A and B are shown apart, each in its own frame.
Chain A
């Protein structure tokens, strides 16, 4: 056998090995969400066999010792915190994204890009510390008395503010991308008709990018929904269905994180927590699929 031929056989063999490994890891990565779902489902089966899913999701009684695992207080708290966070972060991101893509000079973008990146990279526990140091006292001393209430500051509102800051870089990045996909010709055509920049923004940009804006918001919403440590540290963690933003709440991820220690000592407790994780997973995946699909549609229409 000539050495060249042997060399080529080795190359082909190496190619085969690499390709096989690539296919293996690709399938592993893509099966990950399925494995997550199945793993958590198998763990929550014991509870589901005992009680109905509907009963668990919509019952307000959380008494693990007597076997009552109503997730409603936690789901409602989660909704409060996330919606509040989006109400704060949404307008700020929208305004800032329009500013950065339409009005700002290049130098401002140069400053804001690292700012957004760093903000996105800060670990959630740091946001939590910041919340405890700054937001909680602020809520207790300024916001509470303003509404005539005497509170500790550990409340849904604090959680919402901290979460809002956390999802701002995330939403802002997507919004900037979305606005960039609006073709330059549209800007030129609108401006050449004598419209001002603002009229272009109001009547063309927002309308054209509307699906993208909706999906950026809903991605932010789902990110906020799963955020754990930072919210856990400022939200108060009281098991009750909250009916105001200044009350303490107990979101779903905080429930899971707070009780891992004792969950093996009480029957069904681990099942209930794994079910909570499964609920979280399903909600977040649904939101993500929906909004990613919307973004994909926007990009496809443009390109």
Chain B
């Protein structure tokens, strides 16, 4: 009889701390968002969103971080497009052309997963060496190139995971109707997976816009609005990072405000990808 009591107590004990662990994770997320909003919201203003830094901005005078917001959006947009041009064909190729070679596909996925784990600072350092090799200086394009490399594995694996779920019958019936493989890829698989692909692109976009380590070496920093690919560009994560290291209180507050802006962008992307996962189901064959 006693043994059961001990067992029950043990189970109860572990159930409680397991529940606590889950709650702790929820609490951590809430705490992060709460503390960013609490410190940042008071400093967010229309001026911050619509102006570039003016003289004395880094001593707490007026100006905003439009340069960094636009720079980050351009950078992430460019990188996502480039990664999409490379990533979509790769994912299609793995799922359609290499369908027969299971072992090869498994090794390719394995390699991509390993690449997903490479830290962004390593991509940053590599992007920097390439940049120096070609005699370029830090610019929007160099940043885009580096970030593209960094999000390619993410993009491919995310699209690939969706394409894995396409029923085999679809491939077989398209082939039997005489479609070429590229037609199957872009007319059948692409349409079938359109919602998943949107999610994958948004995921990569979020990674691209939030990463600081890979652009630290390559995009440089400037107070001007980005106007050409060969000019240095400010980015939002670096704007936060630089402003936070300032000793002046106003500038620090702006760092918190910039953090709010970045957080809102990321949350919006995450919301958008949730919505897109439910939508665009019209062309889907079940």
Residues in chain A within 8 A of chain B (CB atoms)? 11-12, 14-15, 17-19, 21-23, 25-26, 28-30, 32-33, 35-36, 39-40, 42-43, 91-93, 95-96, 98-100, 103-104, 108, 111-112, 114-119, 121-130, 132-134, 165, 168-169, 172, 196-199, 201, 219, 222-223, 225-229, 233, 253, 256-257, 260, 273-274, 277, 280-281, 284-285, 287-289, 292-293, 296
Contacts and interface: CB of A to CB of B under 8 A. Distances in A.
B34 to A, nearest CB: 9
Contacts of B241: 125, 128, 229, 233
Contacts of A226: 117-122
A129 B18 contact: no
A29 B112 contact: yes
Given A96-B22, A277-B126, A288 B28 contact: no
The 4 closest A-B pairs by CB, nearest first: A226-B119, A123-B210, A18-B182, A99-B18
Contacts of B8: 196
A196 B114 contact: no
Given A122-B266, A129-B240, A134-B31, A196 B115 contact: no
B119 to A, nearest CB: 2
B270 A118 contact: yes
Contact of B117 (A115, A256, A284): A284
A99 B212 CA distance: 34
Main SS of chain A's interface residues?
helix
B118 A284 contact: yes
B181 A19 contact: yes
Interface string B75-94: 00000000001110110111
Interface of chain B, helix or strand or loop or mixed? helix
Given A19-B97, A129-B255, A273 B212 contact: no
Interface in B233-286: 237, 240-241, 244, 255-256, 259, 262-263, 266-267, 269-270, 274
Interface in B176-212: 180-183, 185-186, 203, 206-207, 209-212
Nearest to A100: B22
Given A39-B129, A39-B130, A257-B213, A288 B114 contact: yes
B32 A127 contact: yes
Contacts of B129: 39-40, 42-43, 274
B267 A257 contact: no
Contact of A280 (B36, B94, B119): B119
Contact of A95 (B7, B21, B89): B21
Interface in B85-113: 85-87, 89-90, 92-94, 97, 106, 108, 110-113
Given A21-B89, A198-B14, A226-B119, A126 B22 contact: no
Contacts of B263: 122, 126
A253 B129 CA distance: 16
Contacts of A119: 25, 28-29, 32
A33 B119 contact: no
A36 B18 contact: no
Contacts, number: 258
Contact of B182 (A19, A114, A199, A260): A19
8 contacts: A25-B90, A26-B90, A95-B17, A114-B270, A196-B7, A198-B7, A223-B117, A260-B217
Contacts of A233: 241, 244
B123 interface: yes
Contacts of A273: 125
B205 to A, nearest CB: 11
A29 B93 CA distance: 12
B216 A257 contact: yes
Contact of B22 (A91, A108, A134, A274): A108
A125 B25 CA distance: 19
A129 B114 contact: no
Contacts of B62: none
Contacts of A289: 114
Contacts of A111: 26
A256 to B, nearest CB: 6
Contacts of B25: 92, 96, 112, 115-116, 119, 168-169, 172
